Chain A
Amino acid sequence: MIPRDPPTRDENAENAGDAPPPQTDLWRPGPSEGGGSFQPDSGTGAAVLDPPDESLTPEEKPEGATAGTDGDRVIRIGSGQGFWGDWQEAPKLQVRRGAIDYLMLDYLAEITMSIMQKQKERDPEAGYAKDFVALMAELAEDLVEKEVRVVSNAGGVNPLGCRTALGHALAAKILPRRPRVAVVQGDDLMASLDELIAAGHELRHMDTGEPLATVRDRVASANAYLGAEPIVTALEQGADIVITGRSTDTALTYGPLMHEFAWSGEDWDLLAKGVVAGHINECGCQASGGNSLVDWRQIDLAVPGYPIIEAKGDGSFIVTKHPDLGGRVTWATVTEQLVYEMGDPTDYITPDVIADFSQIRLQDLGEDRVRVTGATGRRRTDRLKVSIAYHDGYKAVGSLTYAWPDAYAKAERADEILRARLDYLGLAFDEIRTEFIGAGACHGPLAGPPLDDLPEVTLRMGVRGQDRGAVTRFTRELAPLILAGPPTVTGFAGGRPRVQDVVAYWPALIDRDVVEREVRVETIDL
């Protein structure tokens, strides 16, 4: 393991019993905000360039996270969760089945924040990933003993609540040392939304250009995407566990690299390489053989190893996994993840840097090791993205399954009958969508005409509209088709479909300064 004992840590190890008062630091923007040059420091420019390709030699097997001269020092960041609901065993395997320095746990997708906001409205103590608390309680001893630090956005819309729950969960644990836990706050703009709008921040929709005022009364959550700097601050304060709200997924990986290698917040090329590492880590097993189209039959995914980034101070890194677990890391699995959810590869915008993925080079070293180099970066933008969710009506989706013979024709007829009944009842919706599962629901017309002797076809119908009553009534119109519809029907065991709130997404931009002056990092020993 890397020896990394900030002085504050040892002090607290000695005073494990009585926790020091909370240490609250206003996070300050990087030096670029001070009016200095925005250009990369030319003095260090040469040192951060990738070595030329000829100098690349296949790496030896991983030595684990071993300290050496700084140029050789390697930091291993294991990915443990790619979304809220990912495999619970993965982080345990990352910690217990080999050496890592950091465990990265990503819980947040665009829509997750609004789900958590809804939970918080019902229970002010909720609004974070509860799985995370149980996981940390189970892993606490291993984490302390192995000195593995955790960086996670599990805090959702209530990072403080997450820490409180973690405190309760860890209280009864006898540990060699009390874990130091940092909470990053300031991404949540919900409470200051009216103030912001009044001050002229219109939060216009990035695609439509409409001001947020249009849907203000229906907003469910509003969070700015924070970058890595508060994470770095937390790690500098000696945090063993960093809990954030809406940090970017990639920052959870490159924040630790900035901290460990003392990367400047203005070294755009280094930051961009870190962003690439984060992009590879952020979807869990998707970089180590999961959802891989190439060789999917041959990849053992029963107990897969999730990806591990082995990074050096020059920003080059190797993607790998623990050797005695399933999964696979090849140029193909890494490339698939690199292009996943990609926009313009030369313009990958994060709060800390604009990364250019177009010059990335991969070198497959064999034995589940792929070397990644070549990403470059440009100066970060002056604005941060804000993820806003707002209520936009209701929807429900239900299904019925028709069996051979003429399964498709029966499902089609059922669709006609159902639509006629909705019409007869005078129900109006913004959208009615029918799909025929087993007969081209995924690839539509590209799948060709449905066969006429399919063994079964599932009719899947959904409606969406502003009138909750109409949507509710729709959910009662499926079951009658069992007795009053086409023959040989089944698949209604689940009962009536559920009426769901539609929570729409409103991406916007806001001046960086407005958010960053409110960002706080609070660190205490639990």
Chain B
Amino acid sequence: MRVKLAEIAFARSGDKGDTANIGLIAFRPSVYPILVQEVTEERVKLHFEGICNGEVERFELPNLHALNFLLHNSLGGGGTVSLMLDAQGKTFATALLRMEIDVPEDLLETPSLEPSPE
């Protein structure tokens, strides 16, 4: 089954100079391994084709069931140099949530949003 990341995860993005960061957080811990498997550096780079002009780095935060992505050379120079409307990459988070990935058929049958287990 194919779903948009927005259905199984949420995200927040920001900037460091010309690099955008996107933290992608699974709604449920059980979804996290799927994110690790599907949302790779290569796929994210491809997803942001024409937006991200540098490399994509990924870091894992299993306790928070979150992945952190760095999209280098993506903000038109960053800071006050940039002419972009979104020079701080604030909207990159939901741009990533547009990505579609394959998930098991029964994934969406369980309750959708529960607090993280201790």
Whether, in the assembled complex, A492 has its beta carbon less than 8 Å from a beta carbon of chain B, the answer is no
Q: A361-B118, A363-B118, A433-B76 are in contact. Are A339 and B12 (CB under 8 A)?
A: yes
Q: A336-B25, A362-B64, A502-B80 are in contact. Are A442 and B16 (CB under 8 A)?
A: no
A470 to B59 alpha-carbon distance, docked (Å): 43
The smallest C-beta distance from A371 to any residue of chain B, in angstroms, reads 9
Contact B79 A111 (CB under 8 A): yes
**Which chain B residues lie closer than 8 Å to A435 at the CB level?**
84-85
A340 to B25 alpha-carbon distance, docked (Å): 11
**Which chain A residues lie closer than 8 Å to B86 at the CB level?**
441-442
Query: Within B8-58, which residues are at the interface with A (CB < 8 Å)?
Result: 10-17, 21, 23, 25, 47-51, 57
Question: Which one of B16, B23, B113 lies within 8 Å of A336 (CB-CB)?
Answer: B23
Whether, in the assembled complex, A343 has its beta carbon less than 8 Å from a beta carbon of chain B, the answer is yes
Contact B98 A443 (CB under 8 A): yes
The smallest C-beta distance from B32 to any residue of chain A, in angstroms, reads 12
The smallest C-beta distance from A391 to any residue of chain B, in angstroms, reads 10
**Which chain B residues lie closer than 8 Å to A463 at the CB level?**
83
Query: Within A421-471, which residues are at the interface with B (CB < 8 Å)?
Result: 431, 433, 435, 437, 441-446, 460, 462-464
Contact B95 A443 (CB under 8 A): yes
Contact B59 A502 (CB under 8 A): no
A-B Cβ contacts below 8 A, count:
139
Contact B23 A338 (CB under 8 A): yes
Whether, in the assembled complex, A293 has its beta carbon less than 8 Å from a beta carbon of chain B, the answer is yes
Contact B83 A464 (CB under 8 A): yes
**Which chain A residues lie closer than 8 Å to B61 at the CB level?**
339, 345, 357-358, 360
Question: Which one of B50, B77, B113, B118 lies within 8 Å of A56 (CB-CB)?
Answer: B118
Contact A293 B63 (CB under 8 A): no
**Which chain B residues lie closer than 8 Å to A441 at the CB level?**
85-86
Whether, in the assembled complex, A330 has its beta carbon less than 8 Å from a beta carbon of chain B, the answer is yes
Question: Which one of B59, B84, B91, B93 lies within 8 Å of A433 (CB-CB)?
Answer: B84
Q: A443-B91, A443-B94, A505-B79 are in contact. Are A358 and B50 (CB under 8 A)?
A: no
- What 1/0 mask marks residues of chain A from 360 to 380 whose CB sits below 8 Å from any chain B CB? 111110000000001000000
Contact B10 A332 (CB under 8 A): yes
Name which residue of chain A comes closest to B95, CB basis.
A443
A275 to B93 alpha-carbon distance, docked (Å): 24
The smallest C-beta distance from A117 to any residue of chain B, in angstroms, reads 13
A502 to B79 alpha-carbon distance, docked (Å): 9
**Which chain A residues lie closer than 8 Å to B21 at the CB level?**
339-343
Question: Which one of B49, B85, B113, B115 lies within 8 Å of A445 (CB-CB)?
Answer: B49
Whether, in the assembled complex, B60 has its beta carbon less than 8 Å from a beta carbon of chain A, the answer is yes
**Which chain A residues lie closer than 8 Å to B107 at the CB level?**
none
Whether, in the assembled complex, A207 has its beta carbon less than 8 Å from a beta carbon of chain B, the answer is yes
Contact A340 B51 (CB under 8 A): no
Q: A332-B10, A345-B59 are in contact. Are A339 and B23 (CB under 8 A)?
A: yes
A244 to B11 alpha-carbon distance, docked (Å): 33
Name which residue of chain B comes closest to A359, CB basis.
B63
Q: A110-B79, A338-B64, A505-B78 are in contact. Are A460 and B85 (CB under 8 A)?
A: yes
Question: Which one of A53, A330, A360, A504 lies within 8 Å of B64 (CB-CB)?
Answer: A360
Q: A358-B63, A446-B95 are in contact. Are A464 and B81 (CB under 8 A)?
A: yes
Whether, in the assembled complex, A219 has its beta carbon less than 8 Å from a beta carbon of chain B, the answer is no
A505 to B115 alpha-carbon distance, docked (Å): 40
Whether, in the assembled complex, A507 has its beta carbon less than 8 Å from a beta carbon of chain B, the answer is yes
Contact B118 A339 (CB under 8 A): no
Name which residue of chain B comes closest to A331, CB basis.
B116
Whether, in the assembled complex, A416 has its beta carbon less than 8 Å from a beta carbon of chain B, the answer is no
Whether, in the assembled complex, A520 has its beta carbon less than 8 Å from a beta carbon of chain B, the answer is no
Contact A293 B11 (CB under 8 A): yes
The smallest C-beta distance from B96 to any residue of chain A, in angstroms, reads 9
Contact B64 A462 (CB under 8 A): no
**Which chain B residues lie closer than 8 Å to A444 at the CB level?**
50-51, 95
**Which chain B residues lie closer than 8 Å to A342 at the CB level?**
21, 23, 59, 68
The smallest C-beta distance from B19 to any residue of chain A, in angstroms, reads 8
Whether, in the assembled complex, A76 has its beta carbon less than 8 Å from a beta carbon of chain B, the answer is no
Contact A341 B15 (CB under 8 A): yes
Whether, in the assembled complex, A503 has its beta carbon less than 8 Å from a beta carbon of chain B, the answer is yes
Whether, in the assembled complex, A178 has its beta carbon less than 8 Å from a beta carbon of chain B, the answer is no
Query: Within A283-306, which residues are at the interface with B (CB < 8 Å)?
Result: 291, 293-294
The smallest C-beta distance from B53 to any residue of chain A, in angstroms, reads 12
Whether, in the assembled complex, A337 has its beta carbon less than 8 Å from a beta carbon of chain B, the answer is yes
Question: Which one of B10, B76, B98, B118 lies within 8 Å of A53 (CB-CB)?
Answer: B118
A330 to B115 alpha-carbon distance, docked (Å): 8
Whether, in the assembled complex, A322 has its beta carbon less than 8 Å from a beta carbon of chain B, the answer is no
27 pairs, CB–CB < 8 Å, chain A vs chain B: A111-B79, A207-B17, A293-B12, A336-B11, A336-B25, A339-B66, A340-B14, A341-B14, A341-B16, A343-B70, A345-B59, A345-B61, A358-B59, A358-B61, A358-B62, A358-B63, A362-B64, A363-B118, A392-B81, A433-B84, A441-B86, A444-B50, A444-B95, A445-B49, A446-B98, A460-B85, A505-B79
Mark B residues whose CB is within 8 Å of A: 10-17, 21, 23, 25, 47-51, 57, 59-64, 66, 68, 70, 76-81, 83-86, 91, 93-95, 98, 113, 115-116, 118
Mark A residues whose CB is within 8 Å of B: 53, 56, 110-111, 207, 291, 293-294, 330-332, 335-346, 357-364, 374, 392, 395, 397, 431, 433, 435, 437, 441-446, 460, 462-464, 500-505, 507
Since A358-B59, A445-B49 are in contact, a sample of 10 more A-B pairs with Cβ atoms closer than 8 Å, ordered by chain A residue number, is: A207-B17, A293-B12, A335-B116, A339-B21, A343-B16, A344-B59, A346-B59, A433-B84, A443-B95, A460-B85
Closest 8 CB pairs of A and B: A339-B23, A462-B83, A341-B14, A433-B83, A442-B91, A336-B12, A364-B115, A293-B10
